[in-house]
A = this chain, B = another copy of it.
Amino acid sequence: MLANTPAPPYYAVIFSSLLTGDTEGYAGTAARMVELAQRQPGFLGVESARESVGITVSYWVSEDAIRAWHANAEHQLAQREGYRAFYQAFRLRVAKVERAYEFERS
């Protein structure tokens, strides 16, 4: 649901996308990538929602951890499928989280 991340600084990968109509296999691949990311060194958490736009924000300890995840072999195959079929368009932004606040209703 909401990610419980440590105190900043840490990194966020903000991935925003529009899907094509050709999304057979997309849900399974997306779920598998979340499962795989969670086992990567330096993974801190993930938050995701899709309406017309899909937004997935994953949190990482460092830029090196993000680079290693990007280079993961199974993730590379999934990225190729994304370009080939799933994504109409996307934006991928790597950002350093400098300040963070949280609220929990008691």
Main secondary structure of the interface of A (DSSP, over half): strand
What is the copy number of this chain in the assembly? 2
For chain A, residues 70 to 106, give those with C-beta under 8 angstroms from any C-beta of chain B: 83, 87-105
A39 cross-chain contacts in B, Cβ below 8 A:
none
A3 with B16: in contact, given A53-B49, A95-B95, A101-B92 (CB under 8 Å)?
yes
| Pairwise interchain contact B1-A53, C-beta atoms closer than 8 A | yes
Counting chain B CB atoms within 10 Å of each CB, which of A8, A20, A89 scores highest?
A89
A55 CB-CB contact with B under 8 Å = yes
| Pairwise interchain contact A90-B2, C-beta atoms closer than 8 A | yes
| Pairwise interchain contact A57-B54, C-beta atoms closer than 8 A | no
A34 cross-chain contacts in B, Cβ below 8 A:
none
